[in-house]
Amino acid sequence: MVVDRCNIAVLGASGYTGADAVRLALGHPGLRIAALSGDSKAGQAMGEIFPHLGHYGLPGLQKVEDIAWDGIDAVLGCLPHGASEEILSRLPEHLLLVDLSADFRLRDVQVYQEWYGREHTSPLLLARAVYGLTEWARPALKGARLVACPGCYPTAVLLALLPLLQAGVIVLDDLIIDAKSGVTGAGRSLKEANLFAEIGESTHAYAMGGHRHMPEIEQQLALASGRGVRISFTPHLLPMSRGELVTCHVRLAPGCTAADARRALEAGVRDEPFVHLAPEGLSPATRHVRGSNHCLINVFADRLPNRAIVIAVIDNLVKGSAGQAIQNLNVMLGQHENLGLAQAPLFP
């Protein structure tokens, strides 16, 4: 299917991810924003909530049940888990669905219940979902009705490790991932822990040994390797608005070196429009990708024998969320994958 012009609805447009989806869609020549939802903000103009988006003639925010779906082709679901599943499962069948929540990422409903503390009530819709790590899902995206965008941490980790795993230069034993993200990853709702006085001039680890992105990373690595995978994953919150850096400590396959890993990454991302290998010796930084849909990766020899350090950076709101959603929708619609995503990183 090739669609030249697509009318979209952004659900959850009053959150950070929803706002970035709107911002990116405004620069997309093939998308028209036909409806915006934000149940707690229904009746307000987008400019009242986000003044930087107040001059584009956007529709006002509505409750989801008040949206007229007949003139809409696709939905970007920027809703919390639980709410997303419940709402998307009752939308008209003609709609293409790109979900940014966690509700359709995990294949096993029992695993979902264990990590998200609720029963999955749409297993039939879940069975139709495509896991939308675009670079590894393109064939399945064409013709898909529902795409589950990966979480921000899994996006960075998988883009860094899947090319190495495919090339056979790493093994998945003793995989240690140290991850850091800006505070927008925690959403826009008021939380004491996210107040400036709590996070400014400070950083801390959280969800040690129990972050919800762990089973998602393990699921995809297991599917790629054909074996069960367990990882050590520790996320940290940094006092910045957006950006994400993951440091993956990996064991090299017998006979392989960090130089072999670099060559594998170079080959694996050579034709990718948004995933890049950094110059040798350059440590990727979040400032290198801020505001863009790009992912920058590099690999370094570890001082420990037979190990390497793989670093990847993304903007958690763009490549880790709204940008990847639009990239997926482009593929679903048969449009050029880069449409709406040509923004260069913002620096300084």
Gap between the Cα atoms of 52 and 68, Å rounded: 26
Q: Quote the CA–CA distance of 132 and 276 in Å, as a whole number.
A: 19
Q: 266: which 2 tokens? A: 């170079």
> Does 149 qualify as catalytic in the annotation?
no
Among 144, 255, 141, 240, which residue's Cα sits nearest to residue 194? Answer: 240
Q: Which residues of 271-308 are buried (b: 16+ CB within 10 A; e: fewer)?
A: ebbbbbbbeeeeebebebbbbbbbbbbbbbebeeeebb
Q: Which among 152, 248, 256, 295 is annotated as catalytic?
A: 152
Which ranges in 213-269 belong to alpha helices (H)?
213-225, 258-269
Q: What is the CA radius of gyration of the chain?
A: 20
> By three-state DSSP, how is residue 39 classified?
helix
Catalytic residues: 152
